[in-house]
Chain A
Amino acid sequence: MLSCLSAAEYKRLDPHLERVLLKFGQTIYHSKAEIDYVYFPENGVLSIVGLTGSDKPIEVGLVGSEGFAGLPLFLGVPRSANEVIVQGEGTAQRITAKAALAEFARGGSFQNAVLLFAHELFLQVSRVTSCNRHHETEQRLSRWLLMMRDRVEDDTLPLKQEFLSWMLGLRNQAIGRAALVLQRTGSIKYSRGSVKIINRITLEQRACPCYRLMKSRNDGWPEQVKSRRVSRLS
């Protein structure tokens, strides 16, 4: 997302950017905690987690290089309503809340990109409201693996079964059973602590339509981000 900015905007932000490692399971924001930095994942993946108080945390959205974490800040709320944790290891550029807000207030393409991402994220989360209601474990697990794959850009994903069962709001055994089905049909190879995607096509066939619907919205964007990033680095 950062690589879509104009040269002038990037130049203003650049001195404030700091590259940080995202470690699997690390909490970026606790619920209700102050948003001190805005995080722009480069190849890491952040999970926006819903909390109810009496249940395990559950994932309501995923953010990779197409977006950022810290949206409430730009909407006038300096603290995170949801918890945000690292779901896929990698790196992110982070910037202080103050510097991000100053650039946002200028109203240029940074503001446009922030607001458009807010819209995309809103759609993703509203899709999850219906996916969580209507789709089967296997479909949802397939969708989740594909969404992760698109953001991590690696076929091997770390997967802790218990953690994933919370994220998808399922029992541990249900995840295990669904993963076994996906493995038997040759879509994935599943071992302790990781999943390797063997056949993307069959996995897409098993996923609910939500995957395609969410992806088509974002299409073009990650590609655009990638190409610009390459041109900037070269």
Chain B
Amino acid sequence: MTVRASLVTEPIDTREVLREVESPGHGAAILFVGFVRDVNDGKPVHGIDYTAYEAMAEREMTAIATESAERYSGSFVVIVHRIGELSVGDASVAIATSHAHRDMAYSASRYAIEQVKARVPIWKREHYSDGTREWVDPTGKADRVGSA
């Protein structure tokens, strides 16, 4: 049984993340990778720096991996998120899941990435061509947070 999560500062070896969930009884494995895009909201992006409340982020990611494995019938789940300065095309997050059958592996993967986006205390600041940097607020409320 492989269920784990970590924050890293070095580039993510996505093939290695996938290899971690391989198992003779598992006929299906899914690798989800999130990459830094070169554009967001129509603005060209040169890079992103990610910061985290590291101890809590690892704790939440581990909780998500465990929940995903429990909900989806003993799937193996590995979540790796990178923080620090990333360039366009770098992998920011990799999630590997596996199960005897594909349905559970896909569901475990989808659950994990949606939960990571919703609740792990990680923040990103985009770098633009004019040298400015801006914190990204996916809630679209600038500096205001609703009762999420």
User: Is A bound to B?
Assistant: no
On B, residues with C-beta under 8 Å from A are: none
On A, residues with C-beta under 8 Å from B are: none
